[in-house]
Amino acid sequence: MMEILDNAAYVIKRINELWGKKPGKKALHKMIFLIQQKGVNLGYNYGIHFYGPYSAALDTSTMSLGADGIIEFDYSGHSHLMSINERDFAVLPKELSREQQEIIDQLIQRFSHESPSDLELLTTAMYAYDHLEDKTRESVIAGVQKIKGAKYSVEQIQRSLESFAYFNKRFSH
């Protein structure tokens, strides 16, 4: 069995274990974005995309890991579901402390019941917050609406903002 030190593969492995299911591409992108928002730098830069924050480098990494047989993709449904080929590979975190691994696990568990759409909304709101000078709730809501149009109601956006405190994001008045 070959040992692989890769943080994207490690996050997929932990999601598989803690959620008991395979993450889709959208869920993985959002979870890694949230992990980085919580202060664990996995080295992925994000831009805004149709489905919220997106990292081209993360996409390239998962496709490369798939080509190497480390990540297995299930294309049977509407999403590209990912799991680790644990028959041939032992996936380990790359240069992550025990504390960082615990943060990753806590975050994966905390958001285990959120749909990919809920994660898209939360990460879009955080992306807007991070790119606004005016950090009021109203500005973030307007920012999400500018990015997402009418996809989410004001009430849905407000509910997503309840998670901001967990990420030490504070609103100005």
Q: What is the pLDDT of residues 34-91, one digit of tens each?
A: 999 999 999 999 999 878 899 999 999 999 999 999 999 998 877 789 999 999 999 9
User: Residue 62 is encoded by which pair of tokens?
Assistant: 């998962």
pTM of the model: 0.95
Q: What is the DSSP string of 127-159?
A: HHHHT-S--SHHHHHHHHHHHHTTSS-HHHHHH
Which overall architecture, per CATH, does domain 1-113 show?
Orthogonal Bundle (1.10)
